[in-house]
Amino acid sequence: MFELTDLLRALIMGIIQAVTEFLPISSSGHLIVVKEFIHFDEPNNSLTFDVALHCGTSIAVVLFFWRDWQNIFYSVFYDIADHGVLIKKWNVQSQLLIWIMIATIPVVIIGFIFHDLIEQTLRQPLVVGIALIVFGILIGLMDRLGESSKKLEDIYLSNALFIGVFQAVSLIPGVSRAGLTIGAARMLGFDRVNAARFSFLLSTPAVIGASLLRFFETQQNSYSINLAVLLAGSFISCLVGIIVIRFLLRYLQNGTLWPFVWYRIVLGLMVIAYTMS
């Protein structure tokens, strides 16, 4: 196990968080594995890092899709003015906000009910190793079997709820929220780029919620926050996060998810071997 200064640790963890949050390889799984090798002196240091990393990725996804969110909220404002709450008369942009809200419900419910189980029981390297392999193969099959006939404007209630259920499953460490939601959208017939765009838009309330949850945990437990560590971790995870989102959207124009699947399988086998040694 290596000892690192808090600042250097924040930078390293920020890069890992940003890369693994938006690529279909599981950020929670990678952070659990990395923490096996990077020592945390105090519990509040660990929480500070979690707050910083989640803040950074929250800012990254909001900044990258700022224009999308701006258009959505403008559209909702005018549709409410013109049609009230008659959602059927709203345009596609406005309805997209409703579908994102509906798709977020399952992860909120499952997260609330099984929070202790996930945090205290499932956050183990062996669980991560198995999930990386099993769900990696599932994500690859979903991508391969999926069609490419639908665009973002084709999302409706049942589609959103279907993707939202898979987002809830991704609370298991090692699964990958991005991978499973993209895979679910592919199974519904969405092309890879639009599947990824909806996945990222859907991630906005999820990553902001995770960031706020971690922050409130520090307040409830009276933990102090190292401002330098918070800013460093947030900045690097935000910067790298924007780069990774841009890369994945461009890559998926022609590429598949299988390179990430093979990476997951190899890493999963290594993690399992480590836990058995």
Residue 46 pLDDT greater than 80, yes or no: no
In a domain, 233, yes or no: yes
Mean pLDDT of 27-44: 72
Residue type, 129: G
Hunting for tokens 């639009």 — which residue is that?
Answer: 194
Give the range with max mean pLDDT: 95-109, 113-127, 142-156: 95-109
The pLDDT assigned to 120 comes to 86
In a domain, 185, yes or no: yes
19-23, 35-39, 136-140, 264-268: range with lowest mean pLDDT: 35-39
Give the range with max mean pLDDT: 44-58, 82-96, 240-254: 240-254
The pLDDT assigned to 71 comes to 94
Residues 6+ apart with CB under 8 A from 77: none
3-state helix, strand, coil in the chain (%, to 5): 80, 0, 20
Distance CA 32, CA 266 (A): 17
Q: Which residue has the higher pLDDT, 116 or 258?
A: 258
Burial of 145 (C-beta count, 10 Å sphere; 0-12/13-18/19+): exposed
Domain that holds residue 128: 6-276
63-72, 157-166, 230-239: range with lowest mean pLDDT: 230-239
Q: Which residue has the higher pLDDT, 142 or 156?
A: 142
For CA atoms 152, 103, 199, 229, give the dihedral sign. positive
Residue 120: Cβ within 10 Å count = 9
Structure tokens at 163: 């993707």
| Per-residue pLDDT tens digits for 199-237 | 999 999 888 887 777 677 766 766 666 677 778 888 999
The pLDDT assigned to 216 comes to 76
Mean pLDDT of 105-134: 93
Under DSSP, is residue 73 helix (H, G, I), strand (E, B) or coil?
helix
The pLDDT-based confidence of 248 (bands split at 50, 70, 90) is: very high
The pLDDT assigned to 43 comes to 45
The pLDDT assigned to 221 comes to 65
In a domain, 54, yes or no: yes
In a domain, 256, yes or no: yes
Residue 4 pLDDT greater than 60, yes or no: no
In a domain, 1, yes or no: no
For residue 38, the cross-strand partners are 2
Distance CA 267, CA 66 (A): 34
The pLDDT assigned to 224 comes to 62
Q: What is the DSSP string of 79-134?
A: HHHHHTT-GGGS-HHHHHHHHHHHHHHHHHHHHHHSHHHIIIII-SHHHHHHHHHH
In a domain, 191, yes or no: yes
Q: Does this model's pTM top 0.75? A: yes
What total of structural domains would you count in the chain?
Answer: 1
In a domain, 100, yes or no: yes
In a domain, 241, yes or no: yes
Both ends of the chain: CA-CA distance in Å?
15
